[in-house]
């Protein structure tokens, strides 16, 4: 790939109000899309933007226990409902990116992935590769998908971006949420997490402060740490602070928690 490929996640906690079902933070999403466009105008970069589901699919995913698989007679209905709820937010994100001037194309994970125990095993990427090569921004998202062992599961945006980074050879993942990064018990920012200090900092890291069926901060950090073994560096930043996403995309040093080997 000619330009550096960057993977950006817009957290569900950032673009929605996770405490109110189906509530978009429209002003935040608008600003983020503008920052993304401005960064790409300043510097050539290939980009995949993934986003979390926030208060769109998390409510139905919790109701139908989709993460646990086919657990009862309503599980298949649950899968359909969760996919539909996740797609509703995706349409809004893609629409806002287009309004900002970016040629964004929705990628529906439930239509292209199969997982085994929550890990993606099957996903042919020819379409995404060509989409990027032709200058578009693919926009996948946390979704409900079919799972070989359990029937169904929720695949997190982190799992999706992790799979894509390994398969496409990306070296940088930016995770934007509503907190400054990983904080210790006193609320101070932990600048870096690596294999050496993880055991120590782990005791400060918990799930989410809202409905998040994919594990919140601790799962996020564990997944990024496992990607670090493949030479992939990630940073968790606060997307509510104007300019941070833009500067992170441009490769500038920004406040946040870096996760590296």
The residue ranges that bind ligand ADP (CB under 6 A) are 11-14, 52, 54, 177-179, 182-183, 204-206, 208-210, 212, 216-217, 220
Q: How far is the CB of 163 from ligand ADP (least distance, A)?
A: 16
Of 42 and 184, the one with the shorter C-beta distance to ligand ADP is 184
Q: How far is the CB of 180 from ligand ADP (least distance, A)?
A: 8
Residue (of 37, 50, 52, 249) closest to 139 by Cα position: 50
Q: How far is the CB of 214 from Mg ion (least distance, A)?
A: 5
Of 12 and 132, the one with the shorter C-beta distance to Mg ion is 12
Contacted by 148, from ligand ADP, Mg ion, none: CB < 5 to 8 Å by type: none
Contacted by 204, from Mg ion, ligand ADP, none: CB < 5 to 8 Å by type: ligand ADP
Q: How far is the CB of 216 from Mg ion (least distance, A)?
A: 6
Task: Report the C-alpha gap between 198 and 217 in whole angstroms.
Answer: 13
Cβ within 8 Å of residue 45, ≥6 positions away: 3, 4, 5, 6, 39, 249
Q: How far is the CB of 34 from Mg ion (least distance, A)?
A: 24
Q: How far is the CB of 13 from Mg ion (least distance, A)?
A: 7
* Helix or strand run (H / E) with residue 116: strand 114-116
Contacted by 178, from Mg ion, ligand ADP, none: CB < 5 to 8 Å by type: ligand ADP
60, 118, 141, 211 from 21: Cα distances, Å: 10, 24, 17, 10
Task: Report the C-alpha gap between 12 and 242 in whole angstroms.
Answer: 17
Of 14 and 29, the one with the shorter C-beta distance to ligand ADP is 14
The region that residue 70 occupies, defined by phi over 0 for left and psi between -120 and 50 for alpha, beta otherwise, is: beta
Beta-sheet pairing, 5-10 with 172-177: parallel
In three-state form (DSSP H/G/I as H, E/B as E, the rest C), the secondary structure along 152-178 is EEEECHHHHHHHHHHHHCCCEEEEEEC
Q: How far is the CB of 67 from ligand ADP (least distance, A)?
A: 13
Helical ranges in the chain per DSSP H? 12-15, 26-42, 57-64, 75-99, 109-112, 126-133, 157-168, 198-201, 216-228, 244-249
Of 12 and 140, the one with the shorter C-beta distance to ligand ADP is 12
Contacted by 142, from Mg ion, ligand ADP, none: CB < 5 to 8 Å by type: none
Contacted by 209, from ligand ADP, Mg ion, none: CB < 5 to 8 Å by type: ligand ADP
Contacted by 183, from ligand ADP, Mg ion, none: CB < 5 to 8 Å by type: ligand ADP
Place of tokens 């978009």: 24
Of 29 and 132, the one with the shorter C-beta distance to ligand ADP is 29
Comparing every residue's Cβ against Mg ion, the nearest one is 212
Of 129 and 255, the one with the shorter C-beta distance to ligand ADP is 255
By the criterion CB under 5 A, which residues form the site for Mg ion? Answer: 212
Residues 154 and 213: beta-carbon distance below 8 Å: yes
């Amino acid at each position: 790939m000619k330009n550096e490929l960057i993977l950006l996640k817009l957290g569900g906690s950032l673009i929605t109000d996770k405490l109110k079902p189906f509530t978009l933070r429209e002003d935040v999403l608008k600003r983020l899309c503008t920052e993304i466009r401005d960064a790409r105008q300043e510097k050539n970069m290939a980009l995949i933007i993934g986003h979390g589901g926030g208060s769109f699919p998390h409510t139905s995913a919790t109701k139908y226990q989709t993460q646990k698989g086919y657990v009862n007679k309503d599980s298949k209905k649950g899968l359909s409902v969760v996919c539909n709820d996740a797609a509703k937010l995706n349409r809004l994100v893609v629409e806002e990116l287009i309004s900002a001037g970016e040629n964004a194309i929705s990628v529906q994970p439930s239509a292209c992935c199969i997982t085994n125990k929550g890990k993606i095993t099957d996903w042919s990427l020819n379409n995404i590769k060509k989409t990027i090569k032709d200058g578009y921004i693919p926009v996948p998202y946390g979704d409900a998908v079919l799972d070989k062992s359990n029937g169904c599961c929720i695949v997190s945006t982190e799992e999706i971006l992790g799979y894509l980074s390994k398969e496409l050879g990306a070296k940088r993942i930016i995770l934007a949420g509503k907190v400054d990064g990983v904080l210790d018990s006193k609320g101070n920012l932990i600048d870096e997490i690596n294999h050496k200090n993880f055991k120590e900092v782990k005791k400060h890291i918990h799930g989410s402060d809202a409905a998040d069926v994919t594990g919140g901060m601790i799962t996020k950090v564990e997944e990024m740490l496992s990607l670090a073994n493949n030479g992939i560096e990630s940073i968790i930043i606060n997307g509510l602070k104007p300019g941070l996403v833009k500067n992170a995309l441009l490769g500038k040093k920004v406040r946040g928690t870096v996760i590296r080997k």
